C-alpha cells in the first residue's frame, strides 16, 4: 500500500521535511545563502471540526470553512466536510534570526527582515510544493492563502481579518494558542511562520492539548508576564491586547523605510514582541509546570 494511504500524516511531514532540507528555494537570499528555516512541526485537523464553524462567529462570517474553500476551488467535485483535512505547519525562526532580533529595540535586525520577506516567500513555495505533490498523487488540494479568492476584510471585533487565517488553522490543528500580542504560541515558540493546505485526504487529526485559546500565555493564566508589552516600540500591545493599526503603521512605512535605507532591499518587519520574551522559543516554563 502506498505511504499516502498507509500513513498519510508521515507522508505529508516527509514532503515538508524534504523541501526544507533539499530545496534551493529555502533561503534568506543573503550573500552566504543561509537557510530560512531548518525545523518544522506539522498538525492536522478534520474538515468537519466544529471549530471552523465557530470561527465564523469569532473571526467573522466571511472566514471560510475548509469545505467552503475546497468547494470554491473545485466547484465540480463533491466532497463531504469529513473527507477533507487541513494540513498546518509551523516553521520556527532559526536561532541566529532570533538572536539578532533580541538585540534590537526599535527596528528589525537584517536577518529578521529577510525572514519576514524572503522567509515568507519560502513559505509560499512550500505551500505550492505541498499542493503539487498532493495533486500529483491524485488528491485535490488548495492553499487557501494563495487562492485568488482570498481577501482581507474589515472586522468590527478585530479591525481587519481575512477569509482564511493561518494561525487559526494552526490552532485547530493542535499547534498552539494565542498570546496577549495576538501571536500564536507553539511548542517551538511564537517566533515562527505558519502555513496550511486543505486537501481531500483523510488524515487522523492531531489532538489539541488545550481547550482555551489563550492557554499558553502567562498573562491570561495569572496576570503575570506582559513582557511583549514592553518589547513593543510603539505601544501597540497593552493589557487590553494588540492594537493592529498601531502595529501596522510601524511596519509600514516606518520599518519599510528603515529596511530599504539600512539593508538595501524592499521589505519591512518587526517581531520585537516575538523575541526576548518567555514564549519566544517554546511554551513558557510557567505554563508547562502548572
Closer residue to ligand SF4 in complex, CB, 44/112: 112
Closer residue to ligand SF4 in complex, CB, 66/284: 284
Minimal CB distance residue for ligand SF4: 179
Closer residue to ligand SF4 in complex, CB, 203/236: 236
SS3 of the chain: CCHHHHCHHHHHHHHHHHHHHHCCCCCCCCCCCCCCCCCCEEEEEECCCHHHHHHHHHCCCCCCCHHHHHHHHCCCCCCCHHHCEEEEEEEECCHHHHHHHHCCCCCCCHHHHHHHHHHHHHHHHHHHHHHHHHHHCCCCEECHHHCCCCCEEEECCCEEEECCCHHHHHHHCCCCEECCCCCEEECCECCEEEEEEEECCCCCCCCCCCCCCCCCCHHHHHCCCCHHHHHCCCCCEECCEECHHHHHHHHHHHHHHHHHHHHCCCCCCCCHHHCCCCCCCCCCHHHHCC
Smallest gap from residue 65 Cβ to ligand SF4 (A)? 28
Smallest gap from residue 217 Cβ to ligand SF4 (A)? 4
- Kindly list the residues in this chain that would bind ligand SF4 in the complex (CB under 6 A): 179-181, 217-219, 225-228, 231-232, 234, 236-237, 242, 247, 250, 270-273, 277-279, 284
Smallest gap from residue 23 Cβ to ligand SF4 (A)? 28
Closer residue to ligand SF4 in complex, CB, 74/158: 158
Smallest gap from residue 41 Cβ to ligand SF4 (A)? 18
Smallest gap from residue 104 Cβ to ligand SF4 (A)? 10
Closer residue to ligand SF4 in complex, CB, 131/218: 218
Smallest gap from residue 242 Cβ to ligand SF4 (A)? 6
Closer residue to ligand SF4 in complex, CB, 36/225: 225
Amino acid at each position: 500500500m502506498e505511504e499516502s494511504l498507509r500513513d498519510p500524516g508521515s507522508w505529508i511531514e516527509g514532503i515538508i521535511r524534504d523541501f526544507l532540507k533539499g530545496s534551493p528555494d529555502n533561503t534568506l537570499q543573503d550573500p552566504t545563502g543561509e537557510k530560512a528555516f531548518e525545523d518544522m512541526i506539522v498538525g492536522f485537523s478534520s474538515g468537519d471540526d466544529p471549530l471552523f464553524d465557530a470561527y465564523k462567529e469569532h473571526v467573522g462570517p466571511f472566514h471560510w470553512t475548509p469545505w467552503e474553500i475546497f468547494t470554491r476551488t473545485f466547484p465540480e467535485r463533491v466532497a463531504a466536510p469529513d473527507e477533507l483535512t487541513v494540513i498546518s505547519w509551523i516553521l520556527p525562526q532559526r536561532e541566529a534570526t532570533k538572536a539578532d532580533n533580541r538585540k534590537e529595540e526599535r527596528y528589525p535586525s537584517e536577518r529578521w527582515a529577510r525572514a519576514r520577506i524572503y522567509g515568507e516567500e519560502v513559505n509560499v513555495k512550500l505551500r505550492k510544493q505541498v499542493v503539487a505533490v498532493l495533486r500529483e498523487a491524485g488528491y485535490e488540494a488548495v492553499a487557501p492563502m494563495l487562492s485568488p479568492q482570498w481577501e482581507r476584510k474589515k472586522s468590527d471585533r478585530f479591525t481587519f481579518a481575512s477569509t482564511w487565517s493561518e494561525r487559526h488553522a494552526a490552532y485547530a490543528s493542535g499547534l498552539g494558542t494565542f498570546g496577549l500580542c495576538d501571536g500564536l504560541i507553539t511548542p517551538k515558540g511564537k517566533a515562527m511562520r505558519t502555513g496550511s493546505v486543505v486537501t481531500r485526504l483523510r488524515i487522523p487529526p492531531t489532538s489539541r492539548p488545550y481547550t482555551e485559546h489563550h492557554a499558553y500565555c502567562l498573562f491570561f493564566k495569572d496576570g503575570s508576564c506582559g513582557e511583549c508589552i514592553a518589547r513593543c516600540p510603539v505601544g501597540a500591545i497593552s493589557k487590553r491586547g494588540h492594537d493592529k493599526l498601531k502595529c501596522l503603521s510601524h511596519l509600514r512605512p516606518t520599518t519599510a523605510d528603515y529596511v530599504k535605507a539600512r539593508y538595501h532591499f524592499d521589505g519591512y518587519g518587526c517581531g520585537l514582541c516575538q523575541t526576548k520574551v518567555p514564549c519566544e522559543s517554546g511554551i513558557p516554563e510557567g505554563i508547562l509546570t502548572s
